[in-house]
A and B are shown apart, each in its own frame.
Chain A
Amino acid sequence: MSQIMAGRGRGQLTFSVEIVGIGKGENLPPSSVQPTPLFPPLDQKPVPLQAGEEAEYMLALKQEFRGAMKTLPFYIRPAAPKKDVERYSDKYQKIETSDNNLEWKPDWRRFPKELRVREKRPLRDKGPAVPKQPKQPRVDKEEIIRKLETLEQKEEERSSDEEEGEKKKPEEEEAEGEEEYDEEEFEDETDYIMSYFDNGEEFGGDSDDNMDEAIY
């Protein structure tokens, strides 16, 4: 809307319309009574986008940056919907949203105290409540084999880790379901392989637990 007409109705102009050069009864372009359309028709063809190495590289940078940000802990996702009943096996389930924990550790000297989130993990509390420093040992096939051989050594390491107050987080971030062998060792001192704790929800009611019946 033109500045002259701001705040006034169409019929009340402070100047004679003729002065502007618009004759009586002449057709003016229609006044807009709605927000401009999202895709207005264009009279002129728009200039083509810049092409070239620089433009393409910057485009790639932009998209990669966006993608990277989504994987970083600064991208906050609200809590996953609660399950109906809390189950014992939940403790050992893979949790995708990592319990809304801040996975980065801010330097609290530079932040107001009130922003600290004290998370209690009743099922996992170990020792003093120190801010967690997640340390993820890389798990792959070779290491499983090595793990079996160096189990003693590993227990030593783990106890010294506890002394430093560090906790090893469960492997929540291993996304793929194919990697089932990752579940075989779990830090929470269980002797059972992870599939023991499958509550069967993913497999649509396979009756593994009822071994008495014959399987046809």
Chain B
Amino acid sequence: MTAQEVRLCGLLLQEHFGDVVEKVGTHLIRSGVLTLRALAYETKLALDLVKKSLCVLVQHGMCTFGAGRRGPAGPVEYRINCEHILHMLRYPRYIYTAKSLYGDTGELIVEEILQRGQMTMSSTVKTVADRLTHNMPEGQSMDYSEVVSAFSRLVETHFLQRCPPMASAGSSSSEAVDTPIPALSQPAEPESHPECYKLPYINLTGQGKRRRSSEDGEDDQRAAKKAKTDNSECGDEGIYWQVNFQRFHLHFRDQAIISAVSCKLDQTSSEIVRTMLRMSEVTTPAHAAFTQALSANECKQSGIKALIVFHQIFRALPPSYNIARPILDQYLTLLVDDPMEFVGKTGDSGGGMYVVNLHRALANLARATLESVVQERFGSRSARIFRLLLRKRHLEQKQVEDFAMVPAKEAKDMLYTLLSENLVQLQLTSCPPPDYFCNTATRRLLEKSQRIEAILASLQATGAETAQLTEVEEMITAPERQQLESLRHHINKYYTNRLDSSENQVDETIFLLESYINSTQASR
């Protein structure tokens, strides 16, 4: 974890859970694994506050606990899950995706579960039905069955999953002996549980309740609390659901590839690629039509999706795309020939065997991102040099000047700037003179993006107050106090909005670069 990542985690915790949880969480990040007592002692916080903070973190999947170094007989140890904390940056994207796939109902389901960390199906359904009912015209209400069906679809497509079951961590039943807590070093993977995506049978009929008077979010809170305490009759007690982040990430990755194809080529090409991606996705109906597949291992090794046969693509295309076979063939050829290498052709049988080259696609997207960053920060000439280095890998200074068609002095300056920003590396060779510039970049850029993210978040936190205050003071001569306040409020909003939007967008970049890095590690 870099210092910036730690800082960013702290800011995110503070934003969503307050200072106390931030202090506990940050300390855990820095120390690794700790017991409750140690944590309380080292943070100098009241024991009760530490307990509550840990509850909050565990509830939201950001902290795991288990038997520590001294085994099941010893004290429980806690470990932070930083990745989960960083995912908070992406919550708007998860919610928006759910909306685009499953409508308002899907959106609210995912939003509720993200807010509460984990929920049973029945309490989610009730809460969401209430919220939807509130927005409906008088006299109408949302039936539970509709919400149940949206929830089910989210589970079937793996966007939601069951929380891993606990070996009873201090069961409240009358058992005399507690079953031992599993070791902390082996946290339960949700997908290792065979019933991970199994929907419980719940006995739940009815409709959302409309609130009697339109008040603020306190009513939501009460309704939610009420819903939570009433769930024992529904039959799904003890079965909790969480958001499956990995699944959303797969979706984002596919989206990135599809939209790149759409930009580079055209809509139809992107639809073809989308169809191919869906065919290899186990959870989609399109997969059913698809019978030939490489084994999962082979896929991982070569970093490609399963082989897809032409005829199957043709059959799997959405009906609105009425293209004849020869036309499809042309599109596929175009895709294969495109230098971005999104799609590859591996054989001719069955009308042609095609693959989506995930790793290549991600690499190209990452490269395009980096080039764009260099261009925007350092100008088009530096971008030219950078692109050159990317292509040629190693270049001498003189070669850089010649290939990039940039005068010597400028080339030197730009190289030095790129060098100091760690985008470029200087390599010395032991033998005869010339030394080489080669390209490093990705990791650094990721850290840089995260640093930007952290700066944004902290600016957000302080509200960038001072800058605006001076602006306001200079601008205004003899205002009413109210006017000043509302003006300051507007300016604050303006900056806050921009900062928040930037956070969202920087996270998109981070996601792309992370995906690329992860795929290089997977394909080793």
Query: Which residues 55-110 of A have a CB within 8 angstroms of B?
Result: 55, 57-59, 61-63, 65-69, 71-72, 74-79, 100, 102-110
Contact with B along A38-52 (1 / 0, CB 8 A): 100001101101100
With contact pairs A110-B166, A115-B54 given, residues A62 and B500 touching in the complex (Cβ less than 8 Å): yes
Task: State whether B168 touches A109 (Cβ < 8 A).
Answer: yes
**CB of A20 within 8 A of chain B?**
yes
- The number of chain A residues with a CB under 8 A from chain B is 65
Contact of A112 among B48, B76, B96 (CB under 8 A): B76
Task: State whether A110 touches B240 (Cβ < 8 A).
Answer: yes
Query: Which residues 103-135 of A have a CB within 8 angstroms of B?
Result: 103-117, 133-135
List residues of chain A with CB within 8 A of the CB of B504: 55, 58-59, 62
Contact of A117 among B52, B218, B377 (CB under 8 A): B52
Task: State whether B21 touches A72 (Cβ < 8 A).
Answer: no
Task: State whether A76 touches B20 (Cβ < 8 A).
Answer: yes
**CB of B31 within 8 A of chain A?**
no
Rounded to whole Å, the gap between the CB of A106 and the closest CB of chain B is 6
Task: State whether B48 touches A113 (Cβ < 8 A).
Answer: no
Rounded to whole Å, the gap between the CB of B511 and the closest CB of chain A is 13
Rounded to whole Å, the gap between the CB of B133 and the closest CB of chain A is 16
List residues of chain A with CB within 8 A of the CB of B19: 78
Majority SS at the chain A contact face: loop
Task: State whether B52 touches A103 (Cβ < 8 A).
Answer: no
List residues of chain A with CB within 8 A of the CB of B322: none
B-binding segment of A1-9, A146-154, A181-189: A1-9
Closest to B47 in A: A117
With contact pairs A76-B17, A138-B222 given, residues A107 and B238 touching in the complex (Cβ less than 8 Å): yes
Rounded to whole Å, the gap between the CB of A73 and the closest CB of chain B is 8
**CB of B169 within 8 A of chain A?**
yes
Task: State whether B225 touches A136 (Cβ < 8 A).
Answer: yes
Considering the chains assembled together, what is the distance between the CA atoms of A102 and B501 in angstroms?
Answer: 33
**CB of A173 within 8 A of chain B?**
yes
Considering the chains assembled together, what is the distance between the CA atoms of A135 and B228 in angstroms?
Answer: 11
Contact of A134 among B55, B111, B225 (CB under 8 A): B225
Closest to A78 in B: B20
Rounded to whole Å, the gap between the CB of B426 and the closest CB of chain A is 5
With contact pairs A44-B377, A59-B497 given, residues A76 and B426 touching in the complex (Cβ less than 8 Å): no
Task: State whether B435 touches A15 (Cβ < 8 A).
Answer: yes
**CB of A33 within 8 A of chain B?**
no
**CB of B270 within 8 A of chain A?**
no
**CB of B379 within 8 A of chain A?**
yes
Query: Which residues 92-132 of B have a CB within 8 angstroms of A?
Result: 92-93, 95-96, 111, 114-117
List residues of chain A with CB within 8 A of the CB of B60: 74
Task: State whether B498 touches A61 (Cβ < 8 A).
Answer: no
List residues of chain B with CB within 8 A of the CB of A105: 228-229
List residues of chain B with CB within 8 A of the CB of A133: 229
List residues of chain A with CB within 8 A of the CB of B422: 2-3
Considering the chains assembled together, what is the distance between the CA atoms of A113 and B20 in angstroms?
Answer: 21
Task: State whether A58 touches B93 (Cβ < 8 A).
Answer: yes
Contact with B along A161-188 (1 / 0, CB 8 A): 0000000000001010000000000000
List residues of chain B with CB within 8 A of the CB of A67: 217
Task: State whether B221 touches A72 (Cβ < 8 A).
Answer: yes
Contact of B58 among A44, A111, A173 (CB under 8 A): A111
List residues of chain B with CB within 8 A of the CB of A173: 218
List residues of chain B with CB within 8 A of the CB of A205: none
Closest to B96 in A: A58
Considering the chains assembled together, what is the distance between the CA atoms of A138 and B75 in angstroms?
Answer: 43
Rounded to whole Å, the gap between the CB of A52 and the closest CB of chain B is 11
Closest to A175 in B: B218
Task: State whether A2 touches B170 (Cβ < 8 A).
Answer: no
Considering the chains assembled together, what is the distance between the CA atoms of A106 and B21 in angstroms?
Answer: 17
**CB of A21 within 8 A of chain B?**
yes
Rounded to whole Å, the gap between the CB of B329 and the closest CB of chain A is 34
Query: Residue among B53, B221, B378, B433 with the most chain A CB within 10 A?
Result: B221
Closest to B56 in A: A74
Task: State whether B18 touches A75 (Cβ < 8 A).
Answer: yes
Task: State whether A1 touches B420 (Cβ < 8 A).
Answer: yes
Task: State whether A50 touches B505 (Cβ < 8 A).
Answer: yes
Task: State whether B96 touches A55 (Cβ < 8 A).
Answer: no
Considering the chains assembled together, what is the distance between the CA atoms of A15 and B48 in angstroms?
Answer: 59
Task: State whether A109 touches B238 (Cβ < 8 A).
Answer: yes
Q: Which residues of B contact A (CB under 8 A)?
A: 15-21, 36, 46, 48-49, 51-56, 58-60, 65, 75-76, 91-93, 95-96, 111, 114-117, 163, 166, 168-172, 181, 212-213, 217-219, 221-222, 225-226, 228-229, 238, 240, 376-379, 397, 408, 412-413, 416-417, 419-420, 422, 425-426, 428, 433, 435, 455, 496-498, 500-505
Can you sample 26 A-B contacts with CB below 8 Å?
A2-B422, A4-B426, A21-B397, A43-B378, A46-B376, A49-B502, A50-B501, A59-B497, A62-B500, A63-B500, A65-B111, A69-B15, A69-B16, A71-B218, A71-B221, A75-B17, A78-B20, A100-B48, A109-B170, A110-B166, A112-B76, A113-B169, A115-B58, A116-B51, A135-B229, A140-B213
Known A76-B52, A109-B238; 16 more pairs at CB < 8 Å: A2-B422, A15-B428, A15-B435, A19-B435, A54-B96, A63-B500, A69-B115, A76-B18, A78-B19, A78-B49, A109-B172, A110-B169, A114-B36, A115-B51, A134-B225, A135-B226
6 smallest A-B Cβ distances: which pairs?
A113-B170, A61-B92, A58-B92, A62-B92, A69-B16, A76-B20
Q: Which residues of A contact B (CB under 8 A)?
A: 1-4, 14-15, 19-22, 28-29, 38, 43-44, 46-47, 49-50, 54-55, 57-59, 61-63, 65-69, 71-72, 74-79, 100, 102-117, 133-136, 138, 140, 173, 175
